[in-house]
A and B are shown apart, each in its own frame.
Chain A
């Protein structure tokens, strides 16, 4: 799986949008971009994933550049409870079902949301 690069830490004011960048310049055509987060003392939590198109769900939006070499996770209205470590992961997916959930986590971005 391709390697990702994320800033070590970021700050965001409560109520503002948090934009978390991720570089994955060696991504392959069959690799998806996944985002997980980990709140202190809890297990990681899935946020969103995408291949080429931008994606949005109830938690966040994922913007993937046209060349797919980078992406941005957007939390539109950050709250104090969004303070966590955010992991960007690139992983191949086999539509035939032979792949599985082996994820390679980096060190992630520590997002601190302050009042």
Chain B
């Protein structure tokens, strides 16, 4: 399967613990995005990478959240000192957009569902 891969698919943790999610984008996609989706709502943008550079972070991304894409390939999203309000689906997407323009099509993974008890 050459789609966007996310791991783990489900994570249950206790409040105060740290969690890390991994995203493997489609090969050669230089753009990678993280979104968060709570029950009954549409996905909300969190952050965006072009290659290894993190170019934008949403105000939703508090200082407990950190995302990296060290070699411009896979990315990790870490949440420190989790709170119950962090319970959500964390979606990763990638796109081949580059200097030549874009179609606006994002390829999403199936998400990592976090439950904070």
Contacts and interface: CB of A to CB of B under 8 A. Distances in A.
A binds B: yes
A101 B48 contact: yes
A102 B102 contact: no
Identify whether the interface residues of A are mostly helix, strand, loop, or mixed. Answer: loop
Contacts of B45: 102-104
A115 interface: no
Interface of B: 4, 31, 33, 40-45, 48, 50, 55-56, 91, 93, 95, 97-111
Interface string A96-107: 110111111111
Interface residues of A, number: 27
Contacts of A45: 108
Interface string A73-115: 0000000000001010001011111011111111110000000
A102 B110 contact: no
B54 to A, nearest CB: 12
B40 A93 contact: no
20 contacts: A32-B104, A43-B91, A43-B93, A43-B110, A44-B108, A46-B106, A49-B103, A95-B101, A96-B101, A97-B101, A100-B55, A101-B97, A101-B104, A102-B56, A103-B45, A103-B106, A105-B44, A107-B41, A107-B42, A108-B42
B42 A106 contact: yes
Nearest to A107: B42
B40 to A, nearest CB: 7
A43 B111 contact: yes
B35 to A, nearest CB: 8
Please indicate which of the listed interface residues B50, B98, B101, B104 has the most CB atoms of chain A within 10 Å of its own CB: B104
Nearest to B49: A100
